[in-house]
């Protein structure tokens, strides 16, 4: 710590940035305090990052823009765009990711799909795997495409690429795509496989959908209904003739995934849905040992953030967020600034 402070006094901008970053990190700063470090100054990081950004320090520009986004994105809209654009000129991959994301979602900056795609592609070229997912999301919703028509084949390829690199939301979406046949031939086994991957990474929606799939089963002639948003709602109980099930019911696995969803989604709508599923499962299976309490569902959506502050996994550095939507096995749409995902 003293070496950083000395280097800063000698005009080392990187040392000054490191000090500001340490001060802005609760974990690092608490460790320093416990080992005799200096007390935290709430305004120190902001002031230091502002000064460094004025000197052209790209990482300071990125971090200061992030602070302004959290503080007042409307008030600092122009400054945020300028700072991120400057950081991008230095080739910062995360700056390209953030700027592309902001142009895509229109929550902070005006929507501009052309610029969003440009910056996300630059982020991909610098190995930012989250950018692959966001490009897939653009294709899935037809953002920037002719007549705004979705290109599910391209979306699938992007989600598959991102999933192979460990992006949990992409793994979840691949499950949705394989189950519904979006841009690929339907394959329930692969849908389950990718939802299991996402569940293992701590993504509660994947566990919840697996619970529902194991509880309902899926017939070879299950009825599918296309939704206006391009997703499909499946009626797993509809049977035509005497064909073998496409996916067998398994109440034991259903119960296990319900409890997994309850744990991973604690304090969110997912925990509420999981408790309601337990009630249904107890009735269907005749298992009196399954708790049957029912938790009233809130009338509005509960946010589940998958960023470094409040997230679905607890340890992710990604910027993707997920919020509640309606019925059907649907895709996770976005990271960090308010995208949506849906469950059955």
Q: Give the residue with greater pLDDT, 59 vs 8.
A: 59
Q: What is the mean pLDDT of the chain?
A: 76
Kindly tell me if the per-residue pLDDT of 99 is higher than 50: yes
Cβ pair 328, 342 in contact under 8 A:
yes
Kindly tell me if the per-residue pLDDT of 240 is higher than 50: no
Average pLDDT score over residue span 217-229 = 59
Strand 304-305 vs strand 321-322: parallel, antiparallel, or unpaired?
antiparallel
Kindly tell me if the per-residue pLDDT of 250 is higher than 80: yes
Which residues make beta-bridge pairs with 219?
245
Average pLDDT score over residue span 100-122 = 98
So what's the pLDDT on residue 133?
98
So what's the pLDDT on residue 235?
55
Kindly tell me if the per-residue pLDDT of 18 is higher than 50: yes
Kindly tell me if the per-residue pLDDT of 288 is higher than 80: no
Q: Give the residue with greater pLDDT, 183 vs 218.
A: 183
Domain spans, the chain: 186-344
So what's the pLDDT on residue 10?
42
Average pLDDT score over residue span 269-293 = 83
Cβ pair 269, 301 in contact under 8 A:
yes
So what's the pLDDT on residue 331?
65
Kindly tell me if the per-residue pLDDT of 206 is higher than 60: yes
So what's the pLDDT on residue 16?
54
Query: pLDDT band for position 227 (50/70/90)?
Result: very low
Helix (H) or strand (E) holding 75: none
So what's the pLDDT on residue 323?
28
So what's the pLDDT on residue 291?
61
Count of C-beta atoms within a 10 Å radius of residue 86:
18
So what's the pLDDT on residue 43?
79
Cβ pair 83, 62 in contact under 8 A:
yes
So what's the pLDDT on residue 219?
77
Rg (CA), the chain: 23
Cβ pair 313, 205 in contact under 8 A:
no
So what's the pLDDT on residue 127?
96
Cα separations in angstroms, 243 against 4, 187, 190: 71, 17, 21
Query: pLDDT band for position 289 (50/70/90)?
Result: low
Cα separations in angstroms, 80 against 71, 72, 93, 103, 329: 11, 10, 16, 12, 36
Alpha helix (H) ranges present in the chain?
Answer: 2-9, 13-24, 26-34, 44-54, 58-71, 77-89, 93-105, 113-125, 129-141, 152-164, 168-180, 188-200, 204-216, 251-264, 269-285
Query: pLDDT band for position 189 (50/70/90)?
Result: very high
Least confident of 224-228, 310-314, 331-335: 310-314
Query: pLDDT band for position 197 (50/70/90)?
Result: very high
């Amino acid at each position: 710590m003293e070496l950083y402070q000395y280097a800063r006094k000698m005009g080392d901008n990187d040392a000054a940035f490191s000090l500001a970053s340490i001060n802005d990190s609760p974990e690092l700063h608490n460790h320093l305090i416990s080992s005799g470090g200096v007390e935290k100054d709430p305004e120190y990081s902001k002031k230091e990052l502002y000064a460094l950004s004025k000197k052209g320090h790209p990482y300071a520009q990125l971090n200061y823009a992030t602070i302004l986004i959290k503080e007042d994105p409307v008030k600092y809209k122009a400054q945020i765009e300028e700072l991120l654009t400057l950081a991008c000129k230095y080739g910062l991959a995360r700056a390209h990711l953030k700027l592309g994301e902001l142009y895509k979602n229109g929550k902070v900056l005006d929507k501009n799909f052309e610029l969003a795609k440009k910056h996300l592609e630059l982020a991909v070229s610098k190995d930012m795997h989250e950018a692959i997912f966001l490009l897939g999301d653009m294709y899935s919703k037809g953002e920037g495409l002719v007549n705004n028509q979705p290109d599910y084949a391209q979306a699938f390829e992007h989600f598959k690429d991102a999933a192979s690199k460990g992006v949990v939301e992409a793994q979840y979406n691949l499950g949705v795509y394989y189950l519904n046949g979006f841009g690929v031939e339907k394959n329930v086994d692969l849908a389950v496989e990718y939802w299991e991957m996402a569940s293992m990474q701590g993504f509660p929606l994947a566990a919840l959908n697996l619970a529902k799939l194991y509880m309902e089963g899926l017939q070879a002639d299950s009825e599918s209904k296309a939704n206006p948003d391009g997703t499909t709602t499946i009626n797993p109980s509809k049977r035509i003739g005497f064909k073998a099930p496409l996916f067998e019911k398994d109440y034991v696995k259903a119960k296990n995934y319900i409890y997994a969803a309850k744990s991973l989604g604690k304090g969110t709508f997912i925990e509420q849905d999981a408790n309601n599923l337990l009630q249904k499962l107890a009735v269907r299976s005749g298992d009196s040992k399954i708790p049957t309490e029912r938790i009233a569902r809130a009338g509005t959506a509960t946010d589940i953030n998958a960023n470094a502050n409040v997230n679905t996994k607890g340890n992710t550095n990604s910027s993707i967020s997920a919020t509640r939507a309606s019925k059907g096995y649907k895709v996770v749409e976005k990271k960090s600034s308010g995208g949506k995902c849906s469950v059955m």
